[in-house]
Amino acid sequence: MTYDQLCSYFVEIGEKKFRAGQVFKKMYQGASDFNEITELSAKLREKLSATASLTSVEMLRKQESATDGTRKYLFSVAGGYAIESVFMKYKYGNTACISSQAGCRMGCAFCASGMDGLQRDLTAGEIVDQVVAMERDTGERIGHIVVMGTGEPFDNYDELIRALQLFHDERGLNIGLRNITVSTCGLLPKIKQFAQDMPQVNLAVSLHAADDETRRKIMPVARAYEMKELLAVCREYTSATRRRITFEYSLISGENDSLEAAALLASKLKGMLCHVNLIPLNHVEEKSYRGSARRHAEDFAAVLSSKGIEVTIRRELGSDISAACGQLRLSEKQNRNA
């Protein structure tokens, strides 16, 4: 519930509206049980416990990287579905990578998250509670959020927007919109809408190819939207929001990583307010794709930068616990162990 919805809820159950503020504050400080909210009378705590809940995700399992402090969580949500979230420590602060759906229906050829299709959309509460649960478990504040876990956030647009509003609410987590990044595989109509609804939130677009033929081969969504249209909408986005777009490009050996592809990509992005983030593909056991060698990734980056395109190669965290980008999945084994 948003703050306003919570206020209405208290009025509806015949309580004072200001109770909403007390509950909202404590919930985002990590309270998971109404009995922790001592400002409320015992009677009210009992009444609330009987009808409502402060949490919507439950921790099933946790893995901690031995090298860099990254923690990967397996949470369960109503219906018995499992979702994954990752806590990462960066120099600029703690970052949460969160899921927007249980499963995914986008079917990218190299990705582990969508192998079983979509199970269901997450509610705004479930999206937000991943962050609260990780703060509770780590005892640390999370200041940055990337919606780059399982799922296609723009395929669950309304709940995503509500979650972003909740993240930002100063009475709760109070996370700056500029510290939040949403990653999409490129659902055009939603990119347009997002420019209007959330112009301060960072947008990342998964491109992964420099031409339609290659893109269609690895990303089914490319059959619905041509790159030309996608890039035109991205240009509109940058002029409307004056915000730089990040293009994610996972380098797959022999598929999309030729230096010609780099040159073609540079020509297509020329003059755009953007940044290319190269991600050496993380190997997924069931798939034949392999990531490009580090040296080759550097050559690819050099072509882009020689043509004036800003580019970085993503640093990998948590690769010892399969928490690296694109490896979040709901494997049988994990569910069984859980």
| 7 among known catalytic residues | no
Annotated catalytic residue within 104, 108, 185, 325: 325
Given the complex with ligand SAH, which of 318 and 326 has the nearer CB atom?
326
Stretch that binds ligand SAH, among 19-27, 133-141, 178-186, 227-235 (CB under 6 A): 178-186
Using rule CB under 6 A, residue 251 touches ligand SAH: no
Q: Give the residue closest to ligand SAH by C-beta.
A: 326
| 84 among known catalytic residues | yes
Using rule CB under 6 A, residue 255 touches ligand SAH: no
Site for ligand SAH in 142-171 (CB under 6 A): 148, 152
Using rule CB under 6 A, residue 121 touches ligand SAH: no
Beta bridge partners of 87: 71, 96
User: Are 146 and 134 within 8 A, CB to CB?
Assistant: no
Using rule CB under 6 A, residue 248 touches ligand SAH: yes
Using rule CB under 6 A, residue 279 touches ligand SAH: yes
Strands 71-77 and 81-90: antiparallel
- In the three-class reduction of DSSP (H, G, I as helix; E, B as strand; rest coil), residue 72 is classed as strand
How far apart (Å, rounded) are the C-alpha atoms in residues 179 and 38? 32
Q: How far is CA 145 from CA 56, 249, 291, in A?
A: 19, 20, 26
The correct pick among 85, 138, 184, 322 for binding ligand SAH (CB under 6 A) is 184
Backbone angles phi, psi at 172, to 5 degrees: -120, -115
Annotated catalytic residue within 84, 126, 152, 159: 84
Q: How far is CA 136 from CA 56, 113, 130, in A?
A: 14, 26, 10
- In the three-class reduction of DSSP (H, G, I as helix; E, B as strand; rest coil), residue 205 is classed as strand
Catalytic residues: 84, 325
Residues of this chain that bind ligand SAH (CB under 6 A): 106, 108, 110-111, 148, 152, 183-185, 206, 248, 250, 279, 281-282, 284, 325-326
